[in-house]
Structure 1
Amino acid sequence: MIRVNIVIAASVLLVACDKPVSEAVKPAQQVAAQEEMATPETLIPKRGHDIAQITRGAEVYRQNCAVCHGPNGEGAPNWRQRDANGQFPPPPLNGDGHTWHHPLSALRYTIRNGTRAIGGTMPAWKDKLSDADIDAVIAWFQSKWPERAYIAWYDIDQRARTRKQ
Structure 2
Amino acid sequence: MLKALLSLFMVLLISGCGEEAVEGRWYAQAQVNRGKQVFVENCAECHGRSAQGAFNWRSPLDDGAYPPPPLNGSAHAWHHSFDTLMRTIDKGGIPVGGQMPAFEDKLSEGEKEAAIAYFQSQWDDRIYKAWLDRGGR
Alignment of 1:6-155 (within 5 A): 46-155=24-133
Q: 1:54 is paired with a residue of what secondary structure?
A: helix
What amino acid is the match of 1:132?
G
Cα distance in 1 for partners of 2:107, 2:135 equals: 22
Q: C-alpha displacement at 1:155, in angstroms?
A: 1.2
Structure 2, unaligned runs of 5 or more: 1-22
TM-score by length of 1: 0.67
Name the Cα RMSD after superposition: 1.3
Cα distance in 2 for partners of 1:156, 1:106 equals: 12
What amino acid is the match of 2:48?
G
Q: C-alpha displacement at 1:81, in angstroms?
A: 1.1
Q: C-alpha displacement at 1:49, in angstroms?
A: 1.3
Q: Which 4+ residue blocks in structure 1 deviate beyond 2 angstroms?
A: none
Aligned to 2:10: none
Residues 55-97 of structure 1, C-alpha deviations (whole Å, 9 max, x = no match)? 1100000000000000100001211111111100000000001
**Count of aligned residue pairs for this structure pair:** 115
TM-score by length of 2: 0.80
Structure 1, unaligned runs of 5 or more: 1-44
Q: C-alpha displacement at 1:156, in angstroms?
A: 1.1
What amino acid is the match of 2:123?
W
